Amino acid sequence: MPAFLTDSFFLMAFGACLLASIASGAIGTYVVVKRIAFIAGSISHSILGGMGLCLWLQRTHHITWLTPTLGAFAAAIGSALLIGTIHLRYRQREDAVIAAIWSTGMAIGVIFLSLTPGTNVDLLSYLFGNILWISSTDLWMLGLLDLILLGTIAFYYRRFLTLCFDEEQALLQGIPVRRLYLILLTLIAVTIVLLIQVIGTILLIALLALPAMVAGLFTRRLITMMLLATGLSALFSVLGLGAAFALDWPPGAAIALLAAVCYLGALPVKKWSVG
């Protein structure tokens, strides 16, 4: 048996990969189908502001309960609701709003992290992932949030389906499109926080979007796409983690690179199968 399979750090990381893949596959499918990957990218980068602020408050004012993870949740959900509200209420172009929130969140995070005493290890772990630091508490939190996400998706499944594929029909049916859109963005925000520890802020969009993009090449049914994307996300994560141990690479980068290579490899396979 390979030595890393008995390593406690690897086993914790393995569990985190599997739990994070559930959220990645389910929510990533909505991100791809709704074509809002850049919104997810904006949220993932803006959370650096919340994490940086909480880390600064922890170390300079000794407010220990304000953890970076709590800051990440607050910033992610706040950014998601802000993007959705500005787009829906003020009819501003989404790309302009996304760019503003993306850059503002990153700027706030970099400023507070530069003011925080200590090393830059925390910054690197938030940017590129810290999956080897996963604890049993983190695993319980990942599992609980997965249950919340899946329960919400099951409850709103048909309405989300109409929202993603035919928004005008949803309006005609009396479905509260605005409220559903904000709920969907909130679910994306929660998923982003789940994936931070696995792959980091910079590379997060790869694990959120690429498995669903590969799944979308081979099926058009939403539920099938979700299941396939979840399986692919788990496969990319576990194989990337194993490659990182074998090659001494950063785990987040290995996972993202493997997902990208598989997507590029799937394109000619799809073309050949259609042709």
What CATH number is associated with residue 185?
A: 1.10.3470.10
Listed residue (8, 257, 3) closest to 134, CA to CA: 8
Residue 46 lies in a domain: yes
Contact in structure between 25 and 31 (CB atoms under 8 Å): no
Listed residue (264, 191, 265, 274) closest to 226, CA to CA: 191
Predicted confidence at residue 274, as pLDDT, reads: 46
Domain of 52 in residue numbering reads as 3-202
pLDDT in tens, 200-229: 877 888 889 999 999 999 998 999 999 999
Q: Residue written as tokens 């802020």?
A: 201
Residue 193 lies in a domain: yes
CA distance 77 to 128: 21
DSSP 8-state class, residue 265: H
How many structural domains compose the chain?
A: 1
Predicted confidence at residue 2, as pLDDT, reads: 56
Sequence-ordered list of residues with C-beta below 8 angstroms from that of 82, at least 6 positions apart, any chain:
97, 101
Residues of the chain with pLDDT under 70: 1-7, 91-94, 119-124, 270-275
pTM here is: 0.89
Residue 196 lies in a domain: yes
Residue 100 lies in a domain: yes
Residue 238 lies in a domain: no
CA distance 168 to 60: 51
Alpha helices in 7-165 (DSSP H): 8-33, 37-61, 68-90, 94-115, 121-128, 136-165
Residue 210 lies in a domain: no
Predicted confidence at residue 271, as pLDDT, reads: 57
Predicted confidence at residue 223, as pLDDT, reads: 94
